[in-house]
Structure 1
C-alpha cells in the first residue's frame, strides 16, 4: 500500500482488520501529502511519484499494489486508472486505488444514490460530487469538517466520526434517499464505528480504508471476508460474485432485468432486498425496493414447494407474480431459478422481460448455470 506521508490512521486500522488473518501480509511505503486542497498544495499525486513508491513495494514481491488515498475522487478516475496502468505495466503487479475500490463497492451493492462524509472543504466535496456523477453516482447529501491539514483528520474521535457519518445522510431528499454512505478519506478511521452506524441507518457504510483492503484482496483472489467490520467486508465477497452472475445471466438471455435474492442471516442478507441486480439501459431498478414480503408471494411459494425453475412466457395462469411487479415495473414475463442450501430455499434468480416472450432452451441453460454457480458459492462457504 502506498500511503500519504501524513496519514496516521490507515496503517493501524488495516493492521487491526487483518489481525486474525495470518494468511495476509500488508506492506507500506509513503509519498508526500500534507494538505488536501484543489490546488494540490503539499501533495504529490503525480504518476512519477507513485511509480517511485510502487517500485519499492514491487521489490517485496507483493501480489497487489494499492494507492491508499482518495485523491482520484476529485482529480478523476482517469487519473487513478493511469496510475494503475503504469504500475502494472512496469511491475507486472495488479494495482488499484481507494477511489476505484469505493466505486467498485457502490457497483456491487447496487448504489446509485450516495451520501458522502469527508473531512474536506466544500470545494473539494463539490469536485467529488461532479466526478462521481460522471460515473453514475448521485451524491444526494453530504457532511464535511471543512479541514485541509491532513494530520488533523486523524485527530477526530470515534464519536465524532460516527456523528459525521450520520449527518451525511441526514439531509437526503425523501424522493432520493441515500442507499449507502461513503467515508471518503483514508486518514479518518471509520472502521471501528461501521457496524454501529450501519445498524442506525440501515444502509452500508463504505469506509475508504476498509474498501481499499477489500478490493486489493479481491484482486489477488484472496478471501476478503473480515467478520464484524461492516457490510462491505462481511458481504462484499458474495455480492461481487453475485453481481457477475446476474450480469452474465442478463447478457446471455437478452432479458431486461436479472436479480438474485439471498437469505443468509450470518451475512446480514435477506430476500426482501436483492443481493445483486443487472438492468438493461433505461430499465428501472428494483434492487432497493423492500415493499414486498418475498416469501409470501404466490410465485415464490410455488418455487418453494416445487424446488424447480418457474418459466412464465406470459402471466396468463397461476402462479401469478405480484401486481406491483407488473404494474409498477412493467414486467410481462419471467423465469425464477431456485438455489438450495442444506435442504432450504436459500436464494433465487429472477429474469424479467418487459414484453411477453418465449424462454428458449439457451435461456434456461443460462439460468441453470447461474443456479449451479451460486449453489457452489453458498454451499462451499
Structure 2
C-alpha cells in the first residue's frame, strides 16, 4: 500500500497561559483524522505561544497582543513548515477585527503561509448562517462583552441581550472553569431567548468544544447551533488548507459548525 503524503501541518498561536486549546484541538483532530479516507494525509497540530496572563481592557493587557510579538511566535511555526497558521485567541473581539486582519496579512506577507484566526472564522460562520441572532457566553468582565458585541455588530452580526459572563481576568482561572458551568451558561442564553439560534462560546480557554453536539441535541427542536472558539480555529485552518469535512460525521461529535 502506498503511504499517504506527508501530514498536513496546522500551526496555532496561543496565549501562554491557555491550558484548554491544545488538548481540545488534539482530540478534535483525532476525530477528524478517523473520518478521513485512509489515503488522506493525517492532519497534525503544532503550537507556539505568546505571553498572555491577564484578559481585560487595560492598556497593559492589550499590549500583550503586540504584532511584533505575535510575528515572532509565528516565525517559529514557519520553521516547522506548517501549511497554515491561526491565532488561537479572541483578542480581536475587544481590540477590533482590524487587529486580526493585520496579523493575517503580516503572516502571509512575511512567511508566505495562509493565515486565519478564531474570530475571523466565527465571523465567516455567522455570515454563512445568515445572522440568526447570537447568545454570547464568555468568562470575561461585562465591559468586555459589550466591546465584543460592538465588534460583531460592526460587521452586521447581532449579539442579543441576556449574554453571560463570569467576570474573570486571570487566564489560568478561566482555564479552570468546568465544562458543566459553561454548559449551564449556554443553557442560560438559549433558555432566556427562544428566538436565538446560536450560542457562541467566545474564549479559547473555556472547555466547551466537546459540549456543542450535546447542547445542539438538547435544543434540536429549535435547530440551534453552538459555536466554540477553539473549534473555530480548526474550522478556519481546514479551509485554508483545502480540507472539506462537511458530511463526514465530524459534526455529530463536535457540533453543526463543521457542516457549515
TM-score category of the 2 structures, normalised to the smaller one? 0.7 to 0.9
Residue of structure 1 equivalent to 2:88: 68
Residue of structure 1 equivalent to 2:116: 96
Q: Does the residue aligned with 1:189 lie in a helix, a strand or coil?
A: coil
- The structural deviation recorded for 1:212 is 1.0
The list of structure 1 runs, each at least 4 consecutive aligned residues, that deviate by more than 2 angstroms after superposition, is 40-43, 168-172, 223-227
Residue of structure 1 equivalent to 2:5: none
Once residues 211 and 218 of structure 1 are traced to their aligned partners in structure 2, the CA distance between those partners, rounded to angstroms, is: 11
- The structural deviation recorded for 1:23 is 1.2
Q: Which of 24, 34, 55 is residue 36 of structure 1 equivalent to?
A: 55
Residue of structure 1 equivalent to 2:25: 14
Q: Where do 5+ consecutive residues of structure 2 fail to align?
A: 1-11, 34-40
Kindly indicate whether the alpha-carbon contact (under 8 Å) linking 2:136 and 2:201 is maintained by their aligned counterparts in 1: yes
Once residues 192 and 236 of structure 2 are traced to their aligned partners in structure 1, the CA distance between those partners, rounded to angstroms, is: 29
Residue of structure 2 equivalent to 1:78: 98
Q: Which of 34, 44, 53 is residue 25 of structure 1 equivalent to?
A: 44
- The structural deviation recorded for 1:42 is 4.3
Residue of structure 2 equivalent to 1:247: none
Alignment CA distance shift 1:193-1:48 (3 Å)? same
Larger CA deviation: 77-86 vs 221-230: 221-230
Larger CA deviation: 138-147 vs 219-228: 219-228
- The structural deviation recorded for 1:186 is 0.1
Q: Does the residue aligned with 1:87 lie in a helix, a strand or coil?
A: helix
Higher relative contact order (CA 8 A, sep 6+): 2
- State how many pairs are aligned: 232
Larger proportion of helix: 2
Q: Does the residue aligned with 1:29 lie in a helix, a strand or coil?
A: strand
Once residues 230 and 60 of structure 2 are traced to their aligned partners in structure 1, the CA distance between those partners, rounded to angstroms, is: 23
Kindly indicate whether the alpha-carbon contact (under 8 Å) linking 2:131 and 2:158 is maintained by their aligned counterparts in 1: no
Q: Which of 134, 137, 140 is residue 157 of structure 2 equivalent to?
A: 137
Q: Does 1:230 align with 2:225?
A: no
Q: Does the residue aligned with 1:161 lie in a helix, a strand or coil?
A: helix
- The structural deviation recorded for 1:178 is 1.8
Q: Does the residue aligned with 1:128 lie in a helix, a strand or coil?
A: helix
- The structural deviation recorded for 1:68 is 0.3
- The structural deviation recorded for 1:165 is 1.1
- The structural deviation recorded for 1:35 is 1.1
Deviations 1:39-90 (A, max 9, x none): 1444611110111011110111111100000000111111110010011000
Q: Does the residue aligned with 2:71 lie in a helix, a strand or coil?
A: helix
Once residues 205 and 184 of structure 1 are traced to their aligned partners in structure 2, the CA distance between those partners, rounded to angstroms, is: 11
Once residues 143 and 239 of structure 2 are traced to their aligned partners in structure 1, the CA distance between those partners, rounded to angstroms, is: 33
Q: Which of 203, 206, 214 is residue 227 of structure 2 equivalent to?
A: 206
Once residues 88 and 170 of structure 1 are traced to their aligned partners in structure 2, the CA distance between those partners, rounded to angstroms, is: 42
- The structural deviation recorded for 1:221 is 0.1
Once residues 154 and 22 of structure 2 are traced to their aligned partners in structure 1, the CA distance between those partners, rounded to angstroms, is: 31
- The structural deviation recorded for 1:179 is 2.2
Deviations 1:273-329 (A, max 9, x none): xxxxxxxxxxxxxxxxxxxxxxxxxxxxxxxxxxxxxxxxxxxxxxxxxxxxxxxxx
Once residues 102 and 152 of structure 1 are traced to their aligned partners in structure 2, the CA distance between those partners, rounded to angstroms, is: 24
Residue of structure 2 equivalent to 1:155: 176
Q: Where do 5+ consecutive residues of structure 1 fail to align?
A: 237-381
Kindly indicate whether the alpha-carbon contact (under 8 Å) linking 1:111 and 1:180 is maintained by their aligned counterparts in 2: no
Cα RMSD after superposing both structures = 1.5
Kindly indicate whether the alpha-carbon contact (under 8 Å) linking 2:216 and 2:225 is maintained by their aligned counterparts in 1: yes
